[in-house]
Each structure stands twice: as structure tokens, then as C-alpha cells.
Structure 1
Amino acid sequence: MRGPTKTFRLVAALLLGAALALGGCSERLGSAPAPSPTQIAFVPKIARIPYFDAMNTGGLEAAKQLGVEWYTTGPATVDPAEQVKILRDLIAKKVDVIVVAPNDPAVLAPVIAEARTKGIHVLTSDTDAPGTQREVFVNQATAQGIGSALVNALMARTGGTGQYAIVSCGPAAENLNAWIAVQKEYAAANYPKAQLVETVYAGEDQATATTMAKDLMARHPGLTGLIGECSTSAPGVAKAVREQQKIGQVFTVGVGTPQAIKPFLLDGSCSQSVLWNVESLGYLTAWTAKQIADGKPLNPVNKVSLELPAVKYDSATKTVLLGDPLLITTDNVDQFKY
């Protein structure tokens, strides 16, 4: 029996080569790398404080569920120039979305504009930068809600009378200044017998807030109330009252994270904390960033998760709103682990 002819062998070789080529092509197509996940970089006002750590926890949880990358890089101080440096570094790294809680909106405006010209999405969260090119602000609660809740909480203990002072944080922080403006107007209209004697700024440093609160009590011997306007000054003013042994004479309220404020709630040096679920704010921030990166519209009411079934969006101000303020007392403080 004769073996295969030369023509037959040539045809067989060509067919085999074609089959191998198609197989190799198929293999290459099948192993093509998946698209990189959306990168979201969060720049808080300051690094390593419980409030922004809790926001980061919420952002990481959302990232796990949404399939995005979330990481936090914060400045060591509240100097706005440090945030500018961080944003410029993130622009150079070509991240997809930058979320920032600005210490000074005016200082950050040019670098926000620079990021937008490079095609990087920019959101604000926790505090806004109105008048800049940020695309969306993720707001924890309205200024009216927070400001009125702080005043009501303090006046419930002082009887709506007496002198009180505010220990705020960054003097250019848009959210804190908006709350203070509401507090002044609301107190004047609803508690005319109460007098705001002074507002001071402690940066984001609890020890400085404690020192300033002690100085305020020395300058104003008739002081009956202190408001700690941020998550570091709230425990700071309560600690001052404790150390000056003025519990029951000078009452404090503030924007304090639950576990940081808990010891002061228990001994009465703080009467109440006005806050929101900080982890939920981080989750909502990551969700909003992904919506923007994906080019998806924000609806007037959005189902974000089972815990956030009806988040509102105001298209006029481009603001996503977490919800109403949360009042933290000894009754519910242990519901929160941060």
C-alpha cells in the first residue's frame, strides 16, 4: 500500500497549521486582561482621626461590593497646601476619581480645575467646595438640620439662657462655617436670652480645643455652654469641663464620633453629640463616585443599598444627601463601633 502522496502531506500540514493558528488566536482572546477597576482616591481634611477612619471603613465596604478600588491619603495637618500637594500627586497618577473634604475651598479651586482638565472626576464629601469645578457634593446632613440640632441640644441643658461659646476647627471649612451661621440665626430667633460670646478655631487638634475651652471659661466666668463644632473639638471641650471640674455648671454638646465622645457622655461632661452614620457617609461617597465615573445619572431618589434605600439628590446644587442628623446619647452610643 502506497503512503500519502506529497500533495496530501502538504494539504495536511497546511490544515494543521491553520488549526494551530486559530487555537492560538482563541487562546489570546480568551486571556485578554479585564478592564482595570475604577480608582477612587479619598482625601480627608486630616489623616488618622476616628471620624475619617470611619468614613474610610464605609468606603472600603462599598468598594468591595461595587468592584472598585478605594484608598485614602490624607494630610498630616489641616494646612490646605498639603491637600493641594496630595491632589497634584493623584493627578499625576491618573486616578479615575478624586474625592476631597476641603480645608479651604478657595485654595483647592485651581487644582480641582486642573484635575477636571485632565479628565479626572472630582467630588467633595463631608464638606463642600462651592464655586469650584467639583461635580457632586456628598453631604451628610443639611446645615439647617445640624445647626439647629446643636443649639437645641445645648439649650435643653442651659434652659435657653446664659452665655455660650463655639470651639470650631478650620476657619475656612465651608461645612463648619455654614453650621455656625445657622446656629447664630437659629439661636437668636428661638433663644433670645442666650448669648454667643465668642467663636475660636482649634484646627483639627483635640488638645488645642481643650486648651481653648479652658481659656474661654477663664475669660467668661459666666459661661454656661460650649459647642464643639467638629469631631476633635467636641471631646476637647468636654475634657476641658471635666478637668476644670465644671460638670453640671458648663454644659457641652458637639459633633463627636460615638466612641470618642462616650466617656464624656457617661460622666456628664458632654450632654449630647449631633452626628450621622459616618460609615454610611463613606459608603455613599464611594457609590456616588462610581456612578459619576460610569456616567450614570443621579436620580431625585436613589436606592444605594438596603441601609440607604432612598438617598435624595438635588440637581440644582448637585448635592447627594445622606439624611437627617443622628442624636447620640448614652442610650445609643454603643450601637456604633467607631
Structure 2
Amino acid sequence: MHMADALVSPQIGAAMYTVSAAAAIYSIKKVQSENDLKKVPVMGVMGAFVFAAQMINFTIPGTGSSGHLCGGMLLTALLGPYASFLTMITILLIQCLMFADGGLLALGCNIWNMAFYGCFLGYFLFWKPFMQKGLSKRKIMSASVLGCILSLQLGALSVTLETYFSGVTALPFRAFVLTMQPIHLAIGFIEGLITSAVLLFIYENRPELLTFGNSSEIQNRLSRKKILTVLGICTVLIGGCLSLIASQYPDGLEWSIERLTGSEEITAENSAYETAAKVQEKTALFPDYAFSHSDQAIGTSFSGILGSAIVVFVCIGGCYLFRFFHSRFREDQTHRRDRDHE
């Protein structure tokens, strides 16, 4: 559902940057107040996992379309809404700048459409109410499927509204909505099943990794380090190998645009679009997850592994760059000074 720049006017793009930035700033403050150091490696490993998983488009039977994991619901079940939202921003930023996946002008839209709904609404409407009184397999599956369906439906609706207010006349609002919503209902359902499968694996092996989870319900079978290692290995296999067999059908957004216009892409001419395109040309070292001017499969594998590694580095490095745990550090320092004076 990554929007290209041509689908968004500079004004709408700027507005969505503003609201997404406001949500990000609020999330940073909340993560700082939580001071949960254990979330740092989970942000890195699971951020990389979602990055790699997004490279695998799965076919929607009977449609000629495909979809891919968004990941907001998966991350929020493990990290809560605020850390998961920041992790999703990292993923989308790296996809945009390094791989030209989604437009630079439309980045604020993509953050809102693909991250906000899953991370926040998925958590507060489904995960938290379902899990407050204890986790179970049925609850995990129900919350995962419902959360993914809702987030995909709202994300698809936001895309149609953003194009409508951007004045994209090639995509009539009513027709675009009636095309986008059904296909993303199917994509959301499949994402929900994938999300629940991953969360159930974690629940059965390390339940305390899940928000509201604890080891008193099910005994931890794997240590935190071991399960993160397993998920890290899965990330490498997904990004480096399984990405090579991703569906070649257009994703839900491209498919919807093609049905209405006869082409998967819409073009737009404006100095803002040209500037954004020039910036992406310089930053996108591996456009479309491939080596420049090459269609060799090794480029896709390399992009999947490299991108995942960069997500880990940026997520973990960002935690210390923004001093998410600065308050705790100061408290520890204060306690040490007090002990020294005694």
C-alpha cells in the first residue's frame, strides 16, 4: 500500500507529514517515560522481521492481485503502540530512501496509512481489551485478524481520501473506494492469519514477550535471547530466500489503480515532485530492491538482508540517539553517587 508521490499533492503530503510527525513526537515521549530497556532488541529484531516480510507479496486468489504484511498489528502486540509506531517509521523511512519503495513526498501518508492504524487502533481497540485479563490462543487469533482487517480497511480508505483531496481526478472517489476496500479486506484477513501464526509461536515459547503476557500462564520454553535469535534467522531466510518467490502480481493499491486507469502508475508534473524524485534517485542505492540497472535475483536477496540489518542498526541506535532511557540512566547515576557518599 506504499503510495507514490503522484497520488499526493504537495499540500496533502505536507499535512500528513505534520500529523505523522506529531504522533512520532508523542510516541518518543511515551517510550522515554516507559523506560523499558528490554524493548530495544525486540524493536531491532522484529523491525527487521517486518521489513523482510513486507518483501513477500502473497497472491490473492482469483483477483490477479497481491498483498503483503504491513506489520503494525504484529509489532504492537510485542512492543505496545508507541515503540511499535517508531519501529514502523524506521522501516518505512528505510524503504523510501534506500529502495524507493513509496514516494518521499508521500512518506507522511504512508506512515499514517500503514503504521498508525495498526499500531494504535490495533492495540487500543483489540489487543489491550482482549488480553488484559489473560492471553489465550483464541484471543490472540481473534485480535490479530480483527486488528489487521480494521487497519487495512482504514489504511485503504485513507489512501482514497488523500488522493481525493489531492485532486487526483484519474481516480474518482466512489469508484476508487469500491475497488480498494474489498481487495484490502482480503489482504487484511490473510495478514491477520500470518500475524496470529507468528504471535502464537511466540506465545507458546516466550509468552512474556507479548504485551500483557507472563510466564505464569505458559512456561517459557525458550530464553529471550534464543527466541530473538530464531526470529533473526527467520528474517535472514525470508529476506534472502523467500523474497525471491514473492508474487509478481500488482499489490492491492496498484491493482486498484490499474482497474480504474489501465495503468499501475499515475504521473504528475510539478517542481515538488521533481525535487522529491531527484532526492530519491540519490539516496536509493537499490531501487525496487535490486542492483541498479540489473535484474539479477542476487540483488533482491542482498537487498532483503542488507535492509533488515539496517533496520536493526537504526532501531537500536535510535533508542540511544533519542535517549529513550536517559531518565533511568540518570537515576542509576544518582543512586551510585548516593552510595559513594554513604
TM-score normalised by the chain length of structure 1: 0.29
TM-score normalised by the chain length of structure 2: 0.28
Whose Rg is larger? 1
Task: Write 1 or 2 for the structure with the bigger share of strand.
Answer: 1
Higher relative contact order (CA 8 A, sep 6+): 2
